[in-house]
Amino acid sequence: MIITYFVHSTTMDNEAGRATGWSDSDLSPKGRRQAEELRDFVKNRFDLVWCSDLGRAIETATIAFAPTPLETDWRLREIDYGKLTQEPSDIVKQDLTKYITEPFPEGESYSDVAVRMLDFLRELKRDHCGKSIALVAHQAPQLALDVILHKKSWIEAFRDDWRHTRSWRPGWDHDISLAG
């Protein structure tokens, strides 16, 4: 079963260089334009769209995928940065390898994100087999897909993250039959 993963559009926090985590940030004008431009690319391609329950993912999905049915799930949330939420991204993300198994202070670890993503993928595979599904979420869940489905280490997932080269594209396909 193939799913297509999309990252939410640019937010005000993205533009300000803040790590948003489980708090929320509105889409910026640039982000709203990105979601509107994505609409033509995704038009009528999906049976169902799942997104994080955070506003930036919901807003992106609502703009880009309407009228496709939209479901939200907390397991697609960004990592919880805990006490570091809203701090400058360059400080929070300076050495992500510290948080592979150790949680952010009063937050969660990347391994925690992988556990919730694997649970979500198993449920998706069980309940929606044969459907064309889009996911709209965040950086940590996307990297967790690389770890779960493509057998990358977290260090490889961090290193290969498209954000380093700004090589965004409109959707990444993943075969979730590889999820245990």
Catalytic residues: 8, 78
* Residue keyed to tokens 């960004």: 78
Strand order of the β-sheet with 172-175 is 70-72, 48-51, 133-137, 2-7, 172-175
Query: H or E segment at 115?
Result: helix 110-127
3-state secondary structure of 4: strand
C-alpha dist (Å) from residue 2 to 10, 42, 79, 94: 25, 15, 24, 33
| Burial of 107 per CB tally in 10 Å (0-12, 13-18, 19+) | middle
List the beta bridge partners of residue 137: 7
